[in-house]
Structure formats: C-alpha cells, structure tokens
Amino acid sequence: MPTADKTVWVLDYDVPYKKNYAKHRAFYRAVHKLMQEYFNKESVEFSSLSCYITADEQLAEKMYKITKEYANRCHLYKAVKMQ
C-alpha cells in the first residue's frame, strides 16, 4: 500500500496560443504571479509543458482555479508516485 508522502497532484491543461495569444500570455502571467506569491520570491522558474505536478494540494487547487479561467481543457488528478 502506497504511503501518503507519495501522493502528488497532476494538473493537465491546454491553453492554445495560436487562436488567442493574449489569453495565453494572461494565463502564464497569472500562474507566474501565483508562484511568486506562493513561494515568496521575486522570480520563480517553471515549465510550460502543459502539465504541473506538485505534492502540495493547496497549490494544485489554486493552479486549477486559474487554469479553468483560461484553458480549453483542464484536469486535476490525484496520483501516487510509483518511484
């Protein structure tokens, strides 16, 4: 049985930039602002591979709320890290 410390949250989304580049940029600005506030840093690096993985449930839920505003497709999954 997996332990609770192996639980992760996977946010899978699609914010297309070809149809509405302004919406795409606004999404990443909102995500960047959340990351700065959440981690109390001036600058935060993150990937733009249309998938975020975190062990922090609160961060995952905040990201999901932002993503639902901008994305054509957005899913939040609770997963167990196997390794």
- pLDDT surpassing 50 at residue 1: no
Angle at 82 (CA atoms; ends 65, 72), nearest 5 degrees? 25
Question: Please, are residues 46 and 31 in contact by the beta-carbon 8 Å criterion?
Answer: yes
CATH code, domain carrying 22? 3.30.70
Split into its structural domains, the chain has a count of: 1
Give the model's pLDDT for residue 53. 85
CA 75 – CA 83 distance, rounded (Å): 23
Per-residue pLDDT reduced to its tens digit, 30-76: 998 998 888 887 665 666 678 888 888 999 999 999 999 998 899 99
Which residue has tokens 């332990």?
3
Q: List the domain range (segments joined by +) for residue 36.
A: 4-80
